[in-house]
């Protein structure tokens, strides 16, 4: 994750989740797979204050290298994929759906 001022509590929680995913993935293997999704801003009621007008939407969009943010269906599609048999060999992973904001320095 990206270090940001006044973000210590969120960074701590995110790190805890990542550790939990790895630990439970190891503990519950081979019967249960554990993975996590780490989405960027997603167009939900939780993000409504960050997406409350066109200027804010434009700023958020421009900050992401892929020039977009997520819609809930994209996150749901990732969850469905991770629950499918197509990922039978994946466990203990955190999948960043970040539209490039953390992954790329552009």
3-class DSSP state for residue 97? Answer: strand
Establish if 3 belongs to a structural domain: no
Each residue's pLDDT tens digit in the chain (106 positions)? 667 788 899 889 999 999 999 999 999 999 999 999 999 999 999 999 999 999 999 999 999 999 999 999 999 999 999 999 999 999 999 999 999 998 888 7
| pLDDT at residue 103, as a whole number | 87
Domain that holds residue 48: 8-97
Kindly report the pTM of this predicted structure. Answer: 0.89
Establish if 48 belongs to a structural domain: yes
How many structural domains comprise the chain?
A: 1
| pLDDT at residue 1, as a whole number | 61
Distances (CA, A) of 86 to 21, 22, 53, 90: 19, 20, 39, 9
| pLDDT at residue 5, as a whole number | 86
Residue 20 sits in a domain of what CATH number? 3.40.50.720
Establish if 26 belongs to a structural domain: yes
What CA–CA distance (Å, rounded) separates 17 from 19? 5
Q: Are 26 and 33 in contact (CB under 8 A)?
A: no
């Amino acid at each position: 994750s990206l270090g940001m001022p006044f973000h210590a509590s969120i960074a701590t929680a995110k790190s805890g989740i990542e550790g939990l995913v790895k630990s439970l993935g190891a503990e519950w293997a081979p019967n249960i797979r554990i993975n996590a999704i780490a989405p960027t801003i997603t167009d939900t009621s939780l993000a409504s204050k960050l997406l409350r007008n066109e200027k804010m939407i434009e700023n958020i969009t421009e900050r992401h290298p892929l020039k977009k943010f997520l819609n809930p269906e994209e996150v749901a599609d990732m969850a469905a994929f991770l629950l499918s048999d197509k990922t039978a060999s994946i466990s203990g992973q955190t999948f960043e759906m970040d539209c490039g904001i953390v992954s790329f320095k552009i």
